[in-house]
Amino acid sequence: MAFIQTEKLTYNYEGNLVPAVKEVSLSFEKGSYTAIIGHNGSGKSTLAKLLCGIFTPTGGKVFIDGMDSSDEEKQENIREKCGMVFQNPDNQIVSSVVEEDVAFAPENLGVEPKEIRKRVDDALAAVGMTEYAHHSAYKLSGGQKQRVAIAGILAMNPDCIVFDEATAMLDPAGRREISAAMNELNKRGITVITVTHHMNEAAMADRIVVMNKGEVAMDGTPREVFARVDELRSLSLAVPQVTELLYDLGLPEALHASEAADIIQKEIEKKCH
Amino acid sequence: MSLKLENVSVVYGEGTPFRKVALDNINIEFPKGKITGIIGHTGSGKSTLAQLLNGLNKPTSGKIYLDGEDIWVNPKEISKVRFKVGLAFQYPEYQLFEETVGKDIAFGPKNMKLSENEIALRVTEAARMCGIPDDSLDRSPFELSGGQKRRVAIAGVMAMKPKYLVLDEPAAGLDPVGKTDILNGIINYKNETDGTVLLISHSMEDVAKYSDYILVLKEGKVFAQGTVEEIFSNISALADSSLDLPQITRLFHELKKRGLIERDDVYTVKFGEKLLKEKGIGNA
């Protein structure tokens, strides 16, 4: 069984006629890096909350490291395995000092003080916030607050972190910081799942799942998904600008500016010969 | 008739170790009837600027002229400035509070002590410009999606028909469709009321697409100002300002560097396509 596996996963908000997530079956391998995209109301955030066990399904199942998220007795174990970073950096800080904030979860888990010290130091180093350990958490920038939130989860030694539009409220510099942190975590073997509106961020993942009306509309590598420009447009999703340009010109697809420059250079050189 | 800043500086925490110059000697006159995009990093002074324009914050030094009058000449009259300069904050949907969408949009016009008829008219008008369907007006704003809530909040500011509309990051955190809906609403407002719009954004892509004029702030100073064409024609300066250039602009910057193309002032996919087609690249 994959690290996270869903079977006909369904979630219906109370009083709604149509489920937000409808019979979704997906699996996420350990150490994988997946972006979930979709327009507002496509069910992507609901899916993310189901994948880390914050919501329990109203139909179907989610297994996280083999544990059924509907099983109340397993919930504490699931919380330790899988953490979530939310959208608003201001809603996730619980202590006034950065390192105390990061220590909050392991303290609650009853971890030994010595071990907590070590975990807090490691976690802050992993997100590049070591020098801010004694700073006031409230005076940090949005990107820095999100990195502290990530460190707080890392200090639990989780296997998986789900980011629910964690960069939506950040400026471009903050977004770059968080993308870099995601990459770093993934290199350390942590399973990363990120819900995002930013296609350039999605392009950094190994896999993209496109949600529409609560169902999986596409599932593949960024290259595979972004090659389907017309379909993405019909789902009111944008593709990276250079992908759009090359698609409209009928050239091979590219996700990044430098890659696109190479393709155009080849075309121009072809013309000259 | 204009909105003008003269030698404006704002200093926070004067006399404390946390002293910070948020705006440093700013001089600008916002072009009337146009959309001016204001871009800059976090901490560049964008939001401080927004708060100055409708008198929420006072300049430490310098003057702000609204239609030729110094807005702080008579501080007791500052509420009049707020009816002329409407400000939509970041994440304005958190400020919705009324029972229905219609009542929420009507809150501003009511404070202006307009007649019932006029209020009703303004609510329908603002709702239409923002693409809020009539049958939503009786719903609770809290039943709406994030993008819809944002439109209601912005409609609430538009319903006061401010001559100057200032929007702080109106499209932040929305998906591409939600973004287009909001920005189109803003264009409708400009076209229908002949109002002047200031659009504060982190997104160079949005600013390039929707503004007529651009003001780039850096560390509290004016780094550059001009029409969209002027700003993008000096691409290397922009790249130095460490702002995120649109991906398409970065591509053409790279192509020019490689000596493959002459122009790099490209900020829309359409224009880029046109340039390459002229070179005979891709399908005609």
Rounded to the nearest angstrom, the minimum Cα separation between B255 and chain A is 6
How many angstroms separate the CA of residue A77 from the nearest CA in chain B?
32
* Cβ–Cβ below 8 Å for A171 and B146: no
CB–CB contact A242 B248 (8 Å): yes
Q: Going by DSSP bridges, is the β-strand pair A33-37/A207-212 parallel, antiparallel, or unpaired?
A: parallel
For chain A, the structural domain boundaries read: 240-273
pLDDT single digits (tens) B113-151: 999 999 999 999 999 999 899 889 999 998 887 888 999
Domains, chain B, with CATH or none: 3-228 (3.40.50.300)
Against a cut of 0.90, is the pTM above it? no
pLDDT in tens, B226-248: 999 888 887 777 776 667 788 89
**How far does A57 lie from chain B, in Å, by closest CA?**
22
Give the closest of B176, B243, B260 to A265, CB-based.
B260
Mutate to test the interface with B, among A17, A170, A171, A267 (most CBs of B within 10 A): A171
Residue B282 has its nearest CB partner, among A200, A250, A257, at A250
Q: Tens digit of pLDDT for each residue in A24-81?
A: 999 999 999 999 999 888 899 999 999 999 999 999 999 999 999 999 999 889 988 9
Confidence at residue B281, expressed as pLDDT on a 0 to 100 scale? 85
> What average pLDDT does the segment B14-37 reach?
91
